[in-house]
Each structure stands twice: as structure tokens, then as C-alpha cells.
Amino acid sequence: MYKDRSYVRANNARQSARRRALLAATDVETFDPVEIFARDNWTCHLCDQPVDRAAKVPDHQAPTLDHLTPLAHGGPHTRANVRCAHFICNSVRQDKPLSCANN
Ligand SMILES: [Zn+2]
């Protein structure tokens, strides 16, 4: 129906403007993840087990920041919206029951 791609280009431009607007509206704090891990006593908020401070992603026991309200759902990147979580717990966290292989 469209003789050229101008419609598609215009639509893409609109969508990318919307993405920029969403990001601009999102609160972003600058902080060191270690600050959050220490605040949360190096404990995973999803399974209540300690994380391994020395472990690095993709180690399942590595500490990661979990956004309570996901960024994809408009959640802010702020201290109040993040918790310490195991990499594995964070990875499997959706609406499913959690299983944490911590032993
Ligand atoms: Zn966990």
C-alpha cells in the first residue's frame, strides 16, 4: 500500500522519541551496587540466603541488583527500588515460585 518507506521511518522516529521520553521520566540514581549489597547484609531478598561476595556473574551465587519494579515496567533505578539478589534468583524471578539452589 505504501509506495515508499517513509511511513515506517516516521513511525520508528515516533517510537524512539517515546522511548527517550520514558527514560527521561525514569528516576536514575548513581550508586555502587556494593552499597546496596552491604545495606541488605549480603542477603538475597528472594530466598533469604546469603550471597557469595566473592562470586561474579554468571556464578549462580553472585550478588546482583534486582529491581522491585522492573525497569521494563517503568521502575526507577534508585536505591529504594533495588535489592540484593542471587544471580540465579534474579534470573528465574518472574511470576513463578522461586527456587534457589543455595546449598
Ligand atoms: Zn537467592
Question: How high is the mean pLDDT in each 10-residue block of the chain (103 residues)?
Answer: 64 68 72 97 98 97 95 90 96 57 40
Q: Which amino acid is at 83?
A: R
What's the CA-to-centroid distance between 41 and ligand 1, angstroms? 13
What's the CA-to-centroid distance between 102 and ligand 1, angstroms? 7
What's the CA-to-centroid distance between 47 and ligand 1, angstroms? 4
Instruction: Name which of 8, 4, 99 is nearest 60 in CA terms.
Output: 99
What's the CA-to-centroid distance between 93 and ligand 1, angstroms? 10
Residue 103 confidence (pLDDT) = 38
What's the CA-to-centroid distance between 74 and ligand 1, angstroms? 24
d(CA 37, CA 18) in angstroms, rounded, equals 33
Residue 83 confidence (pLDDT) = 97
Distances (CA, A) of 89 to 22, 30, 63, 86, 97: 27, 24, 10, 5, 10
Residue 79 confidence (pLDDT) = 96
**Structural domains in the chain, sorted by start:** 6-92 (1.10.30)
Q: What is the pTM of this model?
A: 0.67
